[in-house]
């Protein structure tokens, strides 16, 4: 589980107008366009915040810097593992909400078979879509954002159960505040994308 993840939100009127087989190359082409001065390399990286690019495609997407993850997918993977340890002890509304949220983003589910890429977002050729970890359409983003807004006020009630059944001090997402902090980050991503009517993409390096 040595993957990194870069989470982007993208303007669907710009990305979605391309055929599915060309969307990933369009996004990567804009993202990596260093020669056009796309990124302000002198600006400090602020965790828990957005990086908005410069350049000709700068209005069409942004990258979110997750808090305390160093860009690693491990934090997101371990959030799913912690959830598996505590979910049977969660109140039913919290369990249903976090099941839906995490299954929609990064958790493989109890059988490890969850799919985090909406059908038709990109093409089905794995040679073309190599490195895609997550791809959600604006409709899916709105649904997940609504789930987050519903479950967010209930999270603190999970603290005792997490401390008893899922805490792993010193390890990835090893305490309740780290767990909810990561969820808050995802909530910011979903809320911003939903507000703009944009899609959501997670890519490995």
Domain count across the chain: 1
pLDDT at 91: 96
Q: Yes or no: say if 139 and 115 are a contact pair by the CB < 8 Å rule.
A: no
Determine, yes or no, domain membership for 1: no
Pick from 110, 78, 83, 61: nearest CA to 3: 78
Q: Yes or no: say if 61 and 10 are a contact pair by the CB < 8 Å rule.
A: yes
pLDDT tens for 101-128 read 999 999 999 999 999 999 999 998 998 8
Determine, yes or no, domain membership for 109: yes
Determine, yes or no, domain membership for 71: yes
For 72-108, letters b (16+ CB in 10 Å) and e give: bbbbbbbbbebbbebbeebeeebbebbbbbbbbbbbb
Q: Which domain holds residue 182?
A: 6-203
Determine, yes or no, domain membership for 131: yes
Using the Cα atoms of residue 93, residue 96, residue 99 and residue 103 in order, give the sign of their dihedral. Answer: negative
Which residue, chain included where needed, has tokens 């056009």?
36
Determine, yes or no, domain membership for 177: yes
Q: CA 173 to CA 192: how far, in whole Å?
A: 24
Determine, yes or no, domain membership for 93: yes
Determine, yes or no, domain membership for 164: yes
Mean pLDDT estimate for the chain: 92
pLDDT at 45: 61
Model confidence at 135, in pLDDT bands (50, 70, 90)?
Answer: very high
pLDDT tens for 17-35 read 999 999 999 999 888 776 5
Determine, yes or no, domain membership for 22: yes
């Amino acid at each position: 589980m040595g993957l990194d993840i870069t989470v982007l939100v993208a303007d669907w009127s710009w990305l979605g107008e391309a055929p599915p087989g060309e969307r990933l190359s369009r996004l990567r082409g804009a993202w990596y366009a260093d020669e056009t001065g796309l990124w302000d390399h002198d600006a400090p990286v602020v965790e828990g915040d957005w990086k908005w690019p410069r350049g000709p495609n700068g209005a069409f997407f942004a990258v979110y810097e997750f808090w305390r993850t160093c860009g690693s997918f491990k934090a997101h993977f371990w959030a799913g593992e912690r959830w598996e340890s505590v979910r049977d002890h969660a109140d039913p509304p919290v369990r249903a909400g976090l099941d839906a949220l995490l299954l929609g983003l990064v958790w493989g589910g109890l059988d490890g078979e969850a799919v985090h890429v909406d059908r038709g977002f990109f093409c089905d050729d794995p040679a073309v879509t190599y490195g895609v970890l997550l791809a959600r359409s604006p409709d899916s983003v709105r649904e997940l954002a609504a789930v987050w807004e519903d479950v967010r006020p209930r999270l603190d009630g999970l603290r005792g159960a997490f401390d008893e059944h899922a805490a792993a001090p010193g390890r990835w997402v090893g305490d309740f505040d780290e767990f909810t902090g990561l969820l808050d980050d995802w909530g910011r991503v979903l809320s911003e994308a939903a507000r703009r009517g944009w899609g959501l993409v997670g890519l490995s390096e």
